[in-house]
Amino acid sequence: MLSELNLVNENFTEEPPVSATQRVFQILRHKIIVGEIAPGERLKVEDLKSKLDTGATPIREALSLLTSDQLVERIDQRGFRTAPANKANFEEIFRLRCQLETMALRSSIESGSTEWEESLLLAHYRLSRIPREETDNFERQHKVYHMTLLEACNSPILMRYCSQLYDLNIRYRNLAGKSVDYGSRDVAGEHAEILQATIERDADRACLVLLNHYEKTGQLLVSSFSL
């Protein structure tokens, strides 16, 4: 544990400890996004206290934060539940994600620096080296790659919305699970095509291949879910 370390070398610095609220927030957020907590499930503070080994206050604070991310809903005065999953909600998330990410990608291509290009190339390389079977590692780097595509847009608010919509969209993919058959689809090739168009600063083509990439997954999710 960090608290047990006694680092006296000035070249080393401890990372700040994670608060109880942040710890609970990260745990619940992950469980909702990967589908371990089902849509519409009641999130009872008393139950979560024992499961997460913490007090009621951090849990309530974490649940309130998750409502801002659209992953949890407040039920009047009766508590919280995970956000429901349905076709209309998925289609809204998908539509907004496509609109905002193409806006951010165009801006990144227009103003992105050489350092941004290098970061993008590195993010893609790291993604390409992770087998899909390493689900957690792949998903973590997959988001890094997609967010790096957009991060030169110089709009923190836009990036926050894009990140939030990414997570909401990935939740649906996780809920679909093995019912989605990607067949012979070359996802790695699609990532490479997006990268190439972006590095070449061809905004129209980059946005087109990005949308094609998303639409292929979106069509599979719509057809496989009983939303």
Segment 64-108, tens digit of pLDDT: 999 999 999 998 777 899 999 998 999 999 999 999 999 999 999
Q: What is the CATH number of the domain that holds 49?
A: 1.10.10.10
How many domains does one find in the chain?
2
Residues 147 and 96 both lie in one domain: yes
Residues 129 and 163 both lie in one domain: yes
Element (DSSP H or E) covering residue 137: helix 135-150
Residues 169 and 123 both lie in one domain: yes
Q: Nearest 5 degrees, angle CA 138-CA 141-CA 145?
A: 130
Q: Which residues pair with 73 in a beta bridge?
A: 81
pLDDT in tens, 133-151: 898 899 999 999 999 999 9
Contact (CB, 8 A) for 169 and 97: yes
For residue 181, pLDDT over 90 is answered with no
Round to whole Å and give the CA distance between 58 and 45.
Answer: 10
pLDDT in tens, 186-207: 899 999 999 999 999 999 999 9
Boundaries of domain holding 19: 2-82
Dihedral of the alpha carbons of 44, 139, 216, 169, in degrees to the nearest 10: 30
Residues 129 and 199 both lie in one domain: yes
Round to whole Å and give the CA distance between 16 and 14.
Answer: 6
Round to whole Å and give the CA distance between 203 and 98.
Answer: 14
Q: Which amino acid is at 104?
A: A
Residues 44 and 100 both lie in one domain: no
Residues 12 and 78 both lie in one domain: yes
pTM of the model: 0.84
Contact (CB, 8 A) for 123 and 148: yes
Q: What is the CATH number of the domain that holds 99?
A: 1.20.120.530
State the average pLDDT over residues 2-26: 59
Q: Which residue is it, tokens 């620096």?
A: 113
* Cα 166 → chain centroid: 4
Residues 140 and 189 both lie in one domain: yes
DSSP 227: -
Residues 19 and 35 both lie in one domain: yes
Last residue of a domain, one of 43, 60, 82: 82
Residues 25 and 60 both lie in one domain: yes
Q: Name the token pair of 106.
A: 């165009």
